[in-house]
């Protein structure tokens, strides 16, 4: 059983730790470092893992180190982690949004096996979608370890071209918010037609859940599933025609492109901060 250290004990770290524990990993194989005493106490009490205020003792002897912090925090971790990482040569997994592989190498030193990961919010309930990319020093065994760790909280997909990680961010990283916005508007539209708010919310939420489950479990193209539930000249066709006339395809394309551009801008900002 490998030893895993988490730098940062927030929601994403808590989700990943909880997922691994459910697969049978022993709490004794996991350590966490976080500056918040409240966070450390909560993790120790609820998950049974050892916690530390400073990175040094947390990462000692760890074979995998997960950076579960915000990207702007990464430069401040250099002093406490760089020497240990260079000495131990663990697998470094970063879930810090926008932090590129070359930036992580500049902060923590060359020669490290590094995986960059973009998870999303549904990982908190075990239904996440994560995109991963690795540098050339990551071994097959290390890729398998990362696949297992991220796989405990949902789907984990590999991306060979790191430039596509900005698209991953725009698609699955930001994607849940798109569905929340759609559901929000569906609920509002139903309320405007006279439906009670609680009923509208339940029907809209279950509809989104059921449609997503059908898409995921069937493995079929979404266009095919859409066609199957659309009767010619029926109610669904009327709604879809309205969406098309409103420019839905262009709106979605523009939204994903805007999120991708912003992700690239945030990565470039980290370069300026180096």
Sheet with 154-158, side-by-side order of all strands: 50-52, 30-33, 4-7, 64-67, 91-94, 113-118, 128-134, 154-158
Name the band, by pLDDT with cuts 50, 70 and 90, for residue 18: very high
**Interatomic CA distance for residues 120 and 92, integer angstroms:** 19
Q: Domain 173-266 belongs to what topology?
A: ProC C-terminal domain-like fold (1.10.3730)
Task: Tell me the C-alpha distance between 238 and 217, whole Å.
Answer: 27
pLDDT for the residue 270:
83
Q: Kind of pairing, strands 113-118 and 128-134?
A: antiparallel
Nearest to 13 by CA among 93, 110, 91: 93
Lowest pLDDT segment from 76-80, 86-90, 137-141: 76-80
CA distance 127 to 214: 14
Predicted TM-score (pTM) of the model is: 0.89
The CATH class that applies to domain 4-163 reads alpha beta
Report domain extents, the chain: 4-163, 173-266
What tens digit of pLDDT does each residue of 34-46 get? 999 999 999 999 9
Where does the pLDDT of residue 274 fall: very low under 50, low under 70, confident under 90, or very high at 90 and above?
low
Residue that wins the pLDDT comparison between 27 and 75: 27
Quick check: 72 pLDDT over 90?
no
Q: What value, to the nearest 5°, has the Cα angle with vertex 166 and ends 114 and 215?
A: 105
- For 126, the 3-state DSSP assignment is coil
Q: Quick one: which of 65, 64, 1 has its CA closest to 29?
A: 1
pLDDT digit string, tens, across residues 184-228: 999 999 999 999 999 999 999 999 999 999 999 999 999 999 999
Dihedral sign for Cα atoms in the order 2, 78, 139, 266: positive
> In the predicted model, what is the mean pLDDT of the chain?
94
d(CA 221, CA 176): 20
Q: 117: number of CA atoms within 13 Å, CB side?
A: 32
Say how far apart CA 46 and CA 48 lie, in whole Å: 6
């Amino acid at each position: 059983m490998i030893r895993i250290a988490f730098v940062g004990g927030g929601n994403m770290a808590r989700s990943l730790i909880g997922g691994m524990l459910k697969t049978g990993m022993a709490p004794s194989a996991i350590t966490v470092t976080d500056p918040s005493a409240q966070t450390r106490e909560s993790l120790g009490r609820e998950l049974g893992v050892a916690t530390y205020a400073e990175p040094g003792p947390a990462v000692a002897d760890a074979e995998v180190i997960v950076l579960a912090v915000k990207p702007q925090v990464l430069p401040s971790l250099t002093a406490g982690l760089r020497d240990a990482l260079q000495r131990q040569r663990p697998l470094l997994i970063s879930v810090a949004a926008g932090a590129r592989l070359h930036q992580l190498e500049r902060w923590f030193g060359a020669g490290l096996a590094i995986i960059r990961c973009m998870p999303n919010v549904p990982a908190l309930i075990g239904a996440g979608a994560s995109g991963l990319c690795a540098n050339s020093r990551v071994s097959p065994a290390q890729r398998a370890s990362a696949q297992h760790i991220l796989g405990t909280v949902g789907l984990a997909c590999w991306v060979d071209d790191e430039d596509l990680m900005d698209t991953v961010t725009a698609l699955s990283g930001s994607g849940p918010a798109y569905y929340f916005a759609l559901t929000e508007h569906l609920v509002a539209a139903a309320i405007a037609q006279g439906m009670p708010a609680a009923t509208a919310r339940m029907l809209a939420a279950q509809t989104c859940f059921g449609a997503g489950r059908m898409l995921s479990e069937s493995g079929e193209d979404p266009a095919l599933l859409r066609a199957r539930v659309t009767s010619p000249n029926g109610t669904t066709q009327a709604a879809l025609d309205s969406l098309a006339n409103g420019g839905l395809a262009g709106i979605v394309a523009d939204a994903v492109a805007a999120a991708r551009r912003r992700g690239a801008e945030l990565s470039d900002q980290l370069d300026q901060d180096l």
